[in-house]
Structure 1
Amino acid sequence: MRWEEVCDNKQLQDLPFKIELNKWGQIVMSPVKIKHSFYQGRIQRLLESLLKSGEVMPECAIDTSDGVKVADVVWCSEERFDIIQDQVSASIAPEICVEVKSLGNTSDEMEFKKNLYFAAQALEVWLCNEQGEIKFFSPQNELAHSLLVPDFPKQIKR
C-alpha cells in the first residue's frame, strides 16, 4: 500500500490510532492514550511560543527508508516547508522531529525511528518519555538541550 492510498481510504479515517507504513507498505497502527496526546499538544504549544518563524505541525508524515513514519510533532523552517507543503508525505524530514513514547513502544523502536528521521535529514530528534522527560539528539550524539530551541524545557509539566 502507498501513503496516498492510506490517506484516501475512508475506512482508515477517524481511527483512534496513529497509522504508519513499514517498508513493505503494510499498515502499522499504534493506539495512543490521553497522556500521549497531552504531551504532544503541550510540546506543540511550547514550540509555537518559543519560535518566531517556521511551521509547527502535529502528526507529520515523513518518507523514510522503512516506509512512511508519522512524527508526533515537528518544526519545519520556512525553506523546508516550501519544499514539502504540497506533498502527501514529506520527502525531507523537518528540522526537528519529536516522538512521544507510548507504553507499546520499546526503547529500540524509539532509537530506530530517531535514526530514520536523521537519515531523512532531520537536524534534531527529541524523544519524550511517559513521564514527560525530553531528551534532545543531534545526528552525532545526545545534547544537553536543543541547539535550535535552547529554551525548550527538559520536562513537560502539567
Structure 2
Amino acid sequence: MRWEEVCEHKQLQDLPFKIELNKWGQIVMSPVKIKHSFYQGRIQRLLESFLNTGEVMPECAINTSDGVKVADVVWCSEERFSKIENEVSASIAPEICVEVKSSGNTLEEMEFKRNLYLEAKAVEVWLCNEQGQMKFYNEQGELEQSLLVPKFPKQIKR
C-alpha cells in the first residue's frame, strides 16, 4: 500500500491508532494512551513558545527508507516547510523530529526511528520517554541539550 492510499482509505480515517507504513507497504498501527497525548501536546506548546519562526506540527508523515513514519511532533523551518507543505508525506524530514515512547514501543524501535529521521535529513531527533525525560540527538550522537532549541527542558512536567 502507498501512503496516498492510506490517507484516502475511508475505513482508516477514524481509527484510534497512529498509522505508519513499513518498507513493504504494510500498515503498522500503534495505540496511543493519554500520557502519550499529554507529552505530545506539551512538547508542541513548548516548541511554539521557544521558536518564533517556522512551523510546529503534530503527527507529521515523513518518507523514510523503511516506509512512511509519523513523527509525534516536528519543527520545520519556513524554507523546508515551503518544500513539503503540499506533499502527502514529507520528502525531507523537518529539522526537528520528536518521538514520544509508548508502552508498546521498545527502545530498539525508538532508536531505529531516530536513525530513519536523521537519514531523511532531520537535523535533530528528540526522544521523550514514558516519564517525560527528553534526550536530544543529531548525526554525531546524543547531545547534552538541543543545539536548535537550547532552552528546551530535559524533563516535561505536568
Return the TM-score normalized by structure 2: 0.99
Distance 1:12 1:36 in 2: 21
Matching of residue 54 in structure 1 with residue 17 in structure 2? no
C-alpha separation in 2, matches of 1:7 and 1:14: 11
Other structure's SS at 1:40 match: helix
Distance in 2 (alpha carbons) for counterparts of 1:42 and 1:76:
17
Q: Give structure 1 regions of 4+ aligned residues with deviation exceeding 2 angstroms.
A: none
| TM-fit CA distance, 1:17 | 0.2
**TM-score of the pair, normalised by structure 1:** 0.99
Partner of 2:141: 141
How many percent identity over aligned positions? 82
Counterpart in 2 of 1:110? Answer: 110
Q: Deviations over 1:8-54 (max 9, x none)?
A: 01100111100000000000000000000000000000000100000
Task: Give 1:70 shift.
Answer: 0.1
Aligned equivalent of 2:100 = 100
Amino acid at match of 1:123: V
1:114 positional shift: 0.3
CA distance in 1, matches of 2:97, 2:9: 26
1:141 Cα deviation (Å)?
1.1
Structure 1 runs not aligned, ≥5 long: none
Over residues 105-149 of structure 1, what are the superposed CA-to-partner deviations in whole Å (9 max), with x where a residue is unaligned?
001000000000000000000000000000000111100100000
Q: Distance in 2 between matches of 1:110 and 1:140?
A: 17
Query: What's the RMSD between the two structures over aligned residues?
Result: 0.3
- Is there any run of 5+ residues in structure 2 with no aligned partner, and where? none
